[in-house]
Amino acid sequence: MEDIISVENLLKIYKPNIILADEPTRNPDNNTTVEIMKIFKALSLQGKTIVMTKQDKDIAAFSERIILFEKGKS
């Protein structure tokens, strides 16, 4: 949970328009994963672009647009 607070604070300070997240929910438990995705959803609603790599297709349900790469092809 401390990691989430740290990331939220950094986002408030730097206010990026594009956020690149490489496997942001790789290790967290289910509750933390949901919290991370809620943060990303709120940022998206504020007009921020979230580019996220993820192998878990269930997480894709939080996304508005999905680009799927399989074996190096899109």
Spell out the residues 6+ positions from residue 31 whose beta carbon is closer than 8 angstroms to its own. none
Q: How much of the chain is in helix, strand and coil states, percent to nearest 5?
A: 45, 15, 40
> Model confidence over 5-34: pLDDT tens digits?
888 888 889 999 999 998 887 777 888 888
Alpha helix ranges (H) inside the chain = 2-14, 30-45
Category of 49 on φ-ψ map: left (φ > 0), alpha (ψ -120 to 50) or beta: beta
- Tens digit of each residue's pLDDT (9 = 90 or more) over 31-48: 888 888 888 999 999 999
